[in-house]
Structure 1
Amino acid sequence: MSVGQRTAERPPGTPPGEPDAPREPHARDWRGLGGGFVAKLLLMMLVNAAGVTAILSAYHAEAWVVLGLLVLLLVVADWVYFARRTVPLKYLLPGLVFLAVFQVFTLGYTGYVAFTNYGTGHLGSMQQAVDAALIQDEREVEDSPQYPLAVVRDGDVLGFAVADAEADEVLVGTAEQPLEAVDGAQLDDRGAPASVPGWEVVPRAQLFSDADLQAAVVALRVPVSDDAEDGSLRTREGATAGVYTSRLVWDADAETITNTETGVVYSASDRGQFVSPDGDRLAAGWYVNVGFDNFVRAFTDATYATPLAKVAMWTFAFATLTVLTSFGLGLLFALIYNDPRIRGRKVLRTIFILPYAFPAFMSALLWRGMLNSEFGVVNEWFFLGADIGWLSDPWLAKLAILWVNLWLSYPYWFLVTTGALQALPGDVMEAARVDGAGRWRQFRSITLPMLMVSTAPLAIASFAFNFNNFTIIYMLTDGGPAFPGASTPMGSTDILISAIYQISGVSGGRADYGLASALSIVVFVVIGIISALAFRRTRKLEEI
């Protein structure tokens, strides 16, 4: 650097030859701070506040793995956004976090559930199963005193307030808090609490008129004390409450539940159930690791194996036929309306892609009404009012699904193939015509192979999409009609994804999340293998 350059860079007013005026340490850094830094600081304050809240929630829930991941994630976020040498990570971190939360965690948790018996009857821990068994077996104690009752409320929390005449006090409790005495309560004419400090007494008129409130009050059980064997208060009409206890006694050291009336002892098994020596089981259980049992059961248990085999074959047929028919029809229309001799091509193209503009679930519901065998317009207009069970006959229902899905998906291929046709090199087609190739020869040897190079990856994606096309199945047929004599919630038009939905019990019935997760993994692997093989084939097309 020359002297002139150094002089030009000196602060104004500094005489030549004088040394540079000393500056405050880090003065350049603080002068460079602007609105961007302040915005980043405020944003990271919100991120840290949300992170600390989530960490505290995980701590109270004793979810130690989640707590550790949250702490690690928060430390990494602070380091990335306040360090100087992590510029690329500042842009990558949000995407990586969302990928981990919505993809990696989902896949990992699905894999974890697939190796458990998580489902109806196995939804919690062993202690929760014990509590559920004791509650389910509760009976009212003989000669139990009937306490005058008032239903009290604190926000959304319901509780019982009862007057204990012998102790001359009022007791209040909730489902989580056992009964305890309160001061300052007043009683009404029938001896029930009329006002309770810190609580709102629910008027009896409201109790009788609100069906949801009635159900909540009848289901409410308030522990008498911290000892579960002392029983709990319950009511049937909301005016009086009695003490209920269970015949079952829990031995935490031996991990057994004993029926005090019959003397039968139920021991904890490695399958998450309490089993008696005779093989009887209590309804309440807990989830445990069962290894590969869910995968084995899917292929060997006659209850599931036969229906799932039929569903799997129909799934492959549905996905394959949908791609072939929709691609063929879309390409046909693209070839027709790519001819410059046709007038009004823009208007006609717009009309033909209209089904693609409607939401799929709305279109499926519309077709469900039109295909109704009793009042649907399809039977009325095209089959002279004949009673054709388009959605009740297994084969007709499959045909209806293929037809509706063709109507929904061909506009997509119409758009794709139209663009691909217009991108084909004209000199190649001209050379083919000069060599004497006819229209069919040009299409078979030139147009179609060149189209497949650009559309084959989209066809693979379309196959994967239709392999898991839950919307059309659920909205049009809901998987029905059911398999004759089958005990599983699967039907003739179910594909694997809708069968998994039925097995999971989300729509009602018995839930088997472990089996549903195992089948989800199987579907994931199948789609991955098919896609990998298909993409290898696509690369060969590019060489051609």
Structure 2
Amino acid sequence: MTMNSAKPLTEVANEAVEPPPRGGRPREAHSRQWRGAGWGFLVKLLIMAIVNALGVMTVLSAFAAESWVVLGVAAGLVIVADIVYFTKRALPLKYLLPGLAFLAVFQIFIFGYTAYIAFTNYGSGHAGTQQQAVEATLIQGERRVDSSPTYPMAVVERLGELGLAIADDTGGVQVGSAESGLAAVDGATLGSSGAPTEVPGWSVIPRAQLLTDTALQQEVAELRVPVSDDPNDGSVRTRDGTTGAVYTSTLVWDEAGQTISDTASGTVYTATEDGRFVADDGTELPTGWYVNVGFDNFLRLFANADLAQPLLMVTGWTFAFAILSVGISFAIGLLVALVFNDPRVRARKFLRTLFILPYAFPAFMSALLFRGMFNPEFGVINDLFFFGADINWLGDPWLARMAVLWVNVWLSYPYWFLVCTGALQALPGDTLEAASIDGAGRGRVLRSIILPLLLVATAPLAIASFAFSFNNFTVIYMFNNGGPAIPGAPYALGSTDILISAIYDISGVSGGAADYGLASALSIVVFVVIGIISAIAFRQTHKLEEFQ
């Protein structure tokens, strides 16, 4: 091609580049982007539909349970999620909202609910509203009404809720459940025995199923369907699932006077401000209700001598357990790390692996194994190390504390061994070499250089480890369940209990009377103590930075 036949460069450029369509974007690329945005919107729409469905279910469940706080939180989160993900302006919140929602639900809400319970008397005998307490009390004094006929009936079910359908004296059918009470129903069919066989809106449970399902029999026997809204009118109960009768209580509830009267003995129980029914002679009914008691639970922690003294012992041991666990574990871990950081030690990798094995075992399994090893009757600790002596490691308070401390140190020193090994290997070699040239001995180098530099890296971890040991429920519970028991202490508190296991005992989860209000108040106190100690400790760690 000659120079005369060559086209000008501007003409060649114009031919090579096709002008883009109106809008400044190639037509094919614009189509691809539109299709991608469409699929992304459909996926987002599907995810938000699931989120809204779950939110609506939570709102409806909270409304049925009259849990207004849960209802408000769930509705608020759903509304905020819809606003954020269906607008283009809140781009940062699209990424922050999931984390903020989990923080609100699993941290802030739980802490707020715990604080709310701390100001109530919620616990055994005070687990419901006053109306629920009245109904439970009246049930305890139930007797069959002498004039009540025996009604042919059938056990019915609707959406998992059991009910009773009875054929009344007028030939009609009434049906109800424990929540709704008896109400007339039209269109029901009666069988040859006079019992309902078909009830509109309900499914009749076959007789054969009642005879073979033991759990269902127990549930039917405990079912009580109120005759009316007035609990004094009694309820319908059944013994065999085929006939029913009206039962009323010997106790009578007077809502206006806020009293429950025992018609058999004439005793009158009056409702009190702290959620109890108390008679003039001081006797009270076993069932109460929960109310706001202000700071009473916090005052009990410090002013009730029967409770304050055992809790003071538990608190002292908690601090000792946490401090000694961190201090001894750190010292052992640092010592082992210094030994195996020396290049003259052979097979260091293999030996390091052996030393971190306790860290790889599950803590609860290790605690259970040591529990058997410290058993005074057949444990290997007495047989192998104390020549078969009868040392009661689990029954004596101080020996039990030594044993559980040893177990926790054995479990936690490998962590400090790993941390100190990494910190030692990260120390600046020129600083150590300069100290050696200046004639500093190993002790002086360790005291003046290695430890200060090591503490800069490990001090925050030590604070976290202290907080963990302060609340190390697993080792305490699995080793000996906080025993041995403190004589005269309420709530089964033990000599090796720490505050977190004491909270577990007070809550009644392991059995016995539950006092959730007091347990929540103690939880708040522990939270505040840990927060204050951590804040002071972190503030002090800043002073170590001058060694860097």
**Among 488, 492, 509, the residue aligned to 1:489:** 492
Is 1:352 matched up with 2:376? Answer: no
Residue 489 of structure 1, CA deviation: 1.9
In structure 2, C-alpha distance between the alignment counterparts of 1:288 and 1:9, rounded to whole Å: 80
Is 1:265 matched up with 2:268? Answer: yes
Q: Secondary structure at the match of 1:375?
A: coil
AA aligned to 1:498 is: S
Is 1:113 matched up with 2:153? Answer: no
Q: Secondary structure at the match of 1:40?
A: helix
Query: Which sections of structure 1, spanning at least 5 residues, go unmatched?
Result: none
**Among 77, 95, 99, the residue aligned to 2:99:** 95
Residue 335 of structure 1, CA deviation: 0.7
Residue 69 of structure 1, CA deviation: 3.1
**Among 127, 143, 146, the residue aligned to 2:131:** 127
Residue 10 of structure 1, CA deviation: 8.8
Residue 106 of structure 1, CA deviation: 1.1
In structure 2, C-alpha distance between the alignment counterparts of 1:127 and 1:241, rounded to whole Å: 25
AA aligned to 2:251 is: L
**Among 61, 64, 85, the residue aligned to 2:89:** 85
Residue 469 of structure 1, CA deviation: 0.4
With over 3 angstroms needed to count, the CA separation of the structure-2 counterparts of 1:195 and 1:339, relative to structure 1, is: same
2:448 paired residue number: 445
Q: Secondary structure at the match of 1:233?
A: strand
Is 1:48 matched up with 2:58? Answer: no
Q: Secondary structure at the match of 1:285?
A: coil
Is 1:245 matched up with 2:248? Answer: yes
2:191 paired residue number: 186
In structure 1, C-alpha distance between the alignment counterparts of 2:101 and 2:278, rounded to whole Å: 44
AA aligned to 1:42 is: L
AA aligned to 1:186 is: G
**Among 217, 220, 223, the residue aligned to 1:217:** 220
Do 1:186 and 1:196's aligned partners in 2 also have CA atoms closer than 8 Å? no
In structure 1, C-alpha distance between the alignment counterparts of 2:213 and 2:41, rounded to whole Å: 55
AA aligned to 1:75 is: I
2:43 paired residue number: 39
In structure 2, C-alpha distance between the alignment counterparts of 1:162 and 1:51, rounded to whole Å: 38
- Per mean C-alpha deviation after superposition, the further-off stretch among 120-129 and 288-297 is 120-129
Do 1:195 and 1:201's aligned partners in 2 also have CA atoms closer than 8 Å? no
Do 2:126 and 2:275's aligned partners in 1 also have CA atoms closer than 8 Å? yes
With over 3 angstroms needed to count, the CA separation of the structure-2 counterparts of 1:353 and 1:276, relative to structure 1, is: same
**Among 500, 508, 513, the residue aligned to 1:510:** 513
- Per mean C-alpha deviation after superposition, the further-off stretch among 475-484 and 372-381 is 372-381
1:410 paired residue number: 413
Is 1:137 matched up with 2:141? Answer: yes
In structure 2, C-alpha distance between the alignment counterparts of 1:200 and 1:378, rounded to whole Å: 64
**Among 503, 527, 539, the residue aligned to 1:536:** 539
1:322 paired residue number: 325
2:108 paired residue number: 104
TM-score normalised to structure 1 length: 0.88
Q: Secondary structure at the match of 2:261?
A: strand
Residue 428 of structure 1, CA deviation: 1.5
With over 3 angstroms needed to count, the CA separation of the structure-2 counterparts of 1:397 and 1:415, relative to structure 1, is: same
- Per mean C-alpha deviation after superposition, the further-off stretch among 528-537 and 173-182 is 173-182
With over 3 angstroms needed to count, the CA separation of the structure-2 counterparts of 1:48 and 1:216, relative to structure 1, is: closer
Q: Deviations over 1:263-302 (max 9, x none)?
A: 4433322212223333332222221111111111011112
Q: Secondary structure at the match of 1:249?
A: strand
- Per mean C-alpha deviation after superposition, the further-off stretch among 112-121 and 76-85 is 76-85
In structure 2, C-alpha distance between the alignment counterparts of 1:55 and 1:8, rounded to whole Å: 62
With over 3 angstroms needed to count, the CA separation of the structure-2 counterparts of 1:37 and 1:178, relative to structure 1, is: closer
In structure 2, C-alpha distance between the alignment counterparts of 1:289 and 1:155, rounded to whole Å: 35
Task: Let me know the Cα RMSD of the aligned residues.
Answer: 3.2
Do 2:163 and 2:178's aligned partners in 1 also have CA atoms closer than 8 Å? yes
In structure 2, C-alpha distance between the alignment counterparts of 1:64 and 1:159, rounded to whole Å: 28
With over 3 angstroms needed to count, the CA separation of the structure-2 counterparts of 1:177 and 1:55, relative to structure 1, is: closer
Residue 39 of structure 1, CA deviation: 1.9
With over 3 angstroms needed to count, the CA separation of the structure-2 counterparts of 1:344 and 1:29, relative to structure 1, is: closer
Residue 94 of structure 1, CA deviation: 0.9
With over 3 angstroms needed to count, the CA separation of the structure-2 counterparts of 1:503 and 1:40, relative to structure 1, is: same
Q: Deviations over 1:28-57 (max 9, x none)?
A: 996772433332222222222222332333
With over 3 angstroms needed to count, the CA separation of the structure-2 counterparts of 1:278 and 1:429, relative to structure 1, is: same
1:436 paired residue number: 439
Give the length in aligned residue pairs: 531
2:178 paired residue number: 175
**Among 280, 293, 297, the residue aligned to 1:294:** 297
In structure 1, C-alpha distance between the alignment counterparts of 2:20 and 2:393, rounded to whole Å: 89
- Per mean C-alpha deviation after superposition, the further-off stretch among 387-396 and 52-61 is 52-61
Do 1:468 and 1:497's aligned partners in 2 also have CA atoms closer than 8 Å? yes
AA aligned to 1:460 is: I
AA aligned to 2:188 is: D
Q: Secondary structure at the match of 2:509?
A: coil
Is 1:473 matched up with 2:476? Answer: yes
AA aligned to 1:428 is: T
Q: Secondary structure at the match of 1:48?
A: helix
> What percentage of aligned pairs have identical amino acids?
64
In structure 2, C-alpha distance between the alignment counterparts of 1:250 and 1:63, rounded to whole Å: 26
Residue 450 of structure 1, CA deviation: 1.2
In structure 2, C-alpha distance between the alignment counterparts of 1:196 and 1:64, rounded to whole Å: 34
In structure 2, C-alpha distance between the alignment counterparts of 1:218 and 1:252, rounded to whole Å: 28
With over 3 angstroms needed to count, the CA separation of the structure-2 counterparts of 1:483 and 1:11, relative to structure 1, is: same
1:524 paired residue number: 527
Q: Secondary structure at the match of 2:492?
A: coil
1:498 paired residue number: 501
In structure 2, C-alpha distance between the alignment counterparts of 1:13 and 1:125, rounded to whole Å: 71
In structure 1, C-alpha distance between the alignment counterparts of 2:33 and 2:259, rounded to whole Å: 68
In structure 2, C-alpha distance between the alignment counterparts of 1:538 and 1:296, rounded to whole Å: 35
In structure 2, C-alpha distance between the alignment counterparts of 1:426 and 1:288, rounded to whole Å: 65
Do 1:258 and 1:266's aligned partners in 2 also have CA atoms closer than 8 Å? yes
- Per mean C-alpha deviation after superposition, the further-off stretch among 345-354 and 243-252 is 243-252
Query: Which sections of structure 2, spanning at least 5 residues, go unmatched?
Result: 1-10
In structure 1, C-alpha distance between the alignment counterparts of 2:134 and 2:77, rounded to whole Å: 36
Is 1:373 matched up with 2:371? Answer: no
2:4 paired residue number: none
Q: Deviations over 1:192-216 (max 9, x none)?
A: 6788785444546x65665534432
Q: Deviations over 1:129-163 (max 9, x none)?
A: 22122122222333544456655555744444556
With over 3 angstroms needed to count, the CA separation of the structure-2 counterparts of 1:162 and 1:536, relative to structure 1, is: same
With over 3 angstroms needed to count, the CA separation of the structure-2 counterparts of 1:43 and 1:110, relative to structure 1, is: same
In structure 2, C-alpha distance between the alignment counterparts of 1:155 and 1:370, rounded to whole Å: 53
